[in-house]
Structure 1
Amino acid sequence: MNNNIRHLQPVANIKIIFAIVLSLFAIYLFFEGTLFGLILLGAALKLSLREGFELNLEEKEYRKVYSIFALNFGFWKNLPDAEYVSVFKTIKNSRARVITAEANLGFEVFKVNLFYSQNKHIDVYASDDLEDAFVIAQHIATVLELDIFDATKPEKRWKYITSRP
């Protein structure tokens, strides 16, 4: 069984390609003597940013991972004794603005959390695909030998992974 679990949010290929092109253009501008290249480089890095979660079972540590062009950053923390994995549905709000018009848009997101000490949790993963969220939850629950609490529907239910006496 794999002792390291890492999940990064997917990023569209076109976004990565645009970030690479923008980075190259930014570096060119910087070496031509304009500081505008630094602003473009910042925008390129923001475009390529991927967030995720990494769990090291051997060391019993976890960290929130920030990945920029496949370079991973984050600080390790001790993993508490988890009680269960939860999958739930929430709404992610996004604001769209065009000159004087503004609109708030909301779309469904499925989050995976690792609960410990009865009501404390660690945000593990978020996806707009329910099946994807359950695959991640199943993987974590299997490795840590935990149950999954399905809170994606009004009728919440447990999915038992561990053997019950």
Structure 2
Amino acid sequence: MHKNIRHLQPVANIKIIFAIILSLFSVYLLFAGTLFGIVLLGAALKLSLREGFELNLEEKKYRNVYSIFAINFGFWKKLPEIEYLSIFKTIKNSRSRVIAAEATLGFEVFKVNMFYNRNQHIEAYVSDEMKDAFSVAKHIATVLDLDILDATKPEKEWISVTSHS
């Protein structure tokens, strides 16, 4: 049986390469006595940031994970008795501001939530791709022996991925 489940949002390889180059350049600037290196280091860390979710099945705990250059951070919380998983589509808004002009851009994301106590939930995963969200949901549902509610379409549908032994 799996002891830990960890899913991190994917990040493009070019972003990681650029973040590494930016980090090295920022360290060079810091050693050269320029404080601008701190700004560049912050940008590099932001580029390499990956968010995700981790379950510890032995200790029945979970945490939201923030990963920077493969170093994971997050606080463990007690995992309640999960009843089912749900996948739904929503719009994530992002603001862009240039001098006096501001625009709010919305793009589609898919969220995987774990429901407990009838209507309370824990956000387990967010993805820009439906296939990725379903893959993560099926992995968690298989390990925890749960059903998935597909709420990505107008007609909600239950998906059973386990045997319910």
Shorter chain as denominator, the TM-score bin is over 0.9
Match status 1:7 vs 2:10? no
Moved more, 14-23 or 99-108: 99-108
Shift in Å, 1:129 = 1.1
Whether 2:86 is the aligned partner of 1:104: answer no
Partner Cα distance (1:156, 1:15) in 2: 36
The alpha carbon displacement at 1:160 in A equals: 2.2
| 1:89 aligned partner | 89
In the aligned structure 2, how far is the partner of 1:164 from the partner of 1:10?
Answer: 31
**CA separation of 1:112/1:34 partners in 2, compared to 1, >3 Å: closer, same or farther?**
same
Q: Please give the secondary structure, in 2, of the residue aligned with 1:153.
A: coil
What letter is aligned with 1:3?
A: K
Superposed displacement of residue 37, structure 1: 1.1
Quote the offset at 1:103 in angstroms: 2.1
Matches within 5 A, 1:1-165: 1-163=1-163
> Secondary structure in 2 aligned to 1:82?
coil
The alpha-carbon distance between structure 1 residues 164 and 36, as it changes in their structure 2 partners (threshold 3 A), is closer
How many Å apart are 1:117 and its aligned residue?
Answer: 0.8
2:145–2:164 CA contact under 8 A, matched in 1: no
TM-score normalised by L of structure 2: 0.94
Three-state SS of the structure 1 residue aligned to 2:75 is coil
The answer for unaligned runs of 5 or more in structure 2 is none
The percentage of aligned residue pairs carrying the same residue is 75
Q: Report how far residue 9 of structure 1 moved.
A: 0.7
Give the secondary-structure state (helix, strand or coil) at the position aligned to 2:39.
helix
Unaligned runs of 5+ in 1: none
Output the CA distance in 2 between the equivalents of 1:132 and 1:110: 9
Asked whether the 8 Å contact 2:115–2:122 carries over to 1, the reply is: yes
Give the TM-score normalised by structure 1: 0.94
Q: 2:63·2:76 contact (CA, 8 Å) conserved in 1?
A: yes
- Distance 1:8-1:164 versus aligned 2 partners, 3 A rule: closer
Cα displacement (A) at 1:72: 0.6
In structure 2, what is the Cα distance between the partners aligned to 1:160 and 1:27? Answer: 51
Deviation at 1:32, TM superposition (A): 1.0
